[in-house]
Structure 1
């Protein structure tokens, strides 16, 4: 029998991002219930991103902190008429293997990969790769945390932050999900960012959330997401040591097997 046989797992990622997580769960015999609570959109004002792309070769570093940041940045670069040739002299840093792989698919080299897959981990990695006075570009989400740019400035770097995309809440009717939680059809809920936690709880704000989630495994992809869960008075049951989709699924399997 496959390890997730008979287990139904809620996936809260955007529909565009959910496929990898759903596929891994289903390959292991589980079933998924998609309840996307975020969507990815372009910034309202594209001029800062376009300006950064137009002058990208003037930066010493470009640092990508998410797959979304890579995809939106290079899509805009291509539509602006520029090519990755403009970035051949620029060093690239990335948070996490998925982000790095997407950069490399563009034919570019990742010069620094964060050992810990959060923003602060990237700052620690760049300590030994950068020199004070260098210029670094951060294409990020509208809701990105401020710890990373501050940590980079503490290294003496000149940091330019640009909004490459927006993470917006999706409001879906939660009544069907609530029925499934009430009837104990759901064994786990996965969270892949703080935004998914916040928006999921907002979607269920009119329901007795603690009662609904009693006995349901809550899985968070990393410490920042886990912290958001716990700040809302809930308990994280699963958090992988490796803050990736693969790590999340493997940790979920181990936990559910024990149960």
Structure 2
């Protein structure tokens, strides 16, 4: 195997837009394949402005038939708040847990939870298909989620006749650092790719560049999205996504981008 195939990112600077606390996995994988991660976090997570609804839900977990988590961040914030409020998990026989994605399921299992259903796909629609007929009308479902999470899944559960409680387990906030450095690197064509790992990374990335034409600024870079929802958000805002992961995970995104660079000299 040639060096370029072993290191498909050799010498390439790749922008990582994940939050500072989440960037390390993607940055490490970029480095392992010869690339140079340019960390430009455009989001950070924090507690919701009002913890009341989350605390109320945590105090009555035994009343729910299903608890559904859609991200690792949601899991960690959920259990951290449980610890802070001295919450107690309901008996395993009284509630079932579901997760979007294997990493979310693994995070739940690290907290001693047995996951009944894991999404076949790493999007909410995949979880809905995986749940199938296991969710019955009249059941009570809890969604601890991000403040900006999509409504498709809770609305679909309501359409099945479920009693759905949505609570913000965390909020996603926009941050901007090193904007001038990034703009200079883009203008000098020193950035080879920009990765988007959620719709909020797209929106906040563009918001960080208000005085620039993003399509012109990004014209020399390969744009990579983690999945179809992120891709759609980017394209709705006028960006052209060159690469989309087949599996909607960080490793899937890296694999798709590596394949692109291996087959396209750019």
Whether TM exceeds 0.5 here: the answer is yes
Residue 199 of structure 1 corresponds to 204
Q: Is the 8 A contact 2:61 2:89 kept in 1?
A: no
Q: How far off is 1:230 after superposition?
A: 0.3
CA distance in 1, matches of 2:212, 2:92: 50
1:13-59 C-alpha deviation (Å, 9 max, x unpaired): 10011111111111111110000000100011101101101110111
- TM-score w.r.t. the length of structure 2 is 0.94
In structure 1, C-alpha distance between the alignment counterparts of 2:61 and 2:92, rounded to whole Å: 7
Select which of 249, 254, 258 maps to 1:253. Answer: 258
Pick from 222, 232, 241 the counterpart of residue 236 of structure 1: 241
Match of 2:114 among 106, 109, 112: 109
1:151-191 alpha-carbon deviations (Å, 9 max, x no partner): 11112211100000000100324111011111111110000
User: What number of residue pairs does the alignment pair up?
Assistant: 259
User: What's 1:29 paired with?
Assistant: 34
- 1:68 equivalenced with 2:68 (yes/no): no
Q: Is the CA contact (8 Å cut-off) linking 2:61 and 2:90 kept in structure 1? A: no
Partner of 2:139: 134
Structure 2 alignment gaps of length 5 or more: none
Q: Secondary structure at the match of 1:14?
A: coil
Q: Is the 8 A contact 1:120 1:151 kept in 2?
A: no
Over the aligned positions, Cα root-mean-square deviation in angstroms equals 1.2
The answer for the alignment partner of 2:64 in structure 1 is 59
1:40 has 2:42 as partner: no
Structure 1 regions of 5+ residues with no counterpart? none
Contact 1:114-1:125 within 8 A present in 2 as well: yes
Distance in structure 2 (CA, Å) of the matches to 1:92 and 1:243: 21
Superposition deviation, residue 88 in structure 1:
5.6
* Aligned-partner Cα distance in 1 for 2:136–2:205: 41
Q: Do 1:13 and 1:35's aligned partners in 2 also have CA atoms closer than 8 Å?
A: yes
Query: Which of 138, 156, 163 in structure 2 is aligned with 1:158?
Result: 163
Distance 1:87 1:161, change over 3 A: farther
Runs of 4+ residues deviating >3 angstroms: 83-88
Q: Does 1:81 align with 2:86?
A: yes
Distance between the aligned counterparts of 1:149 and 1:61, measured in 2? Answer: 12
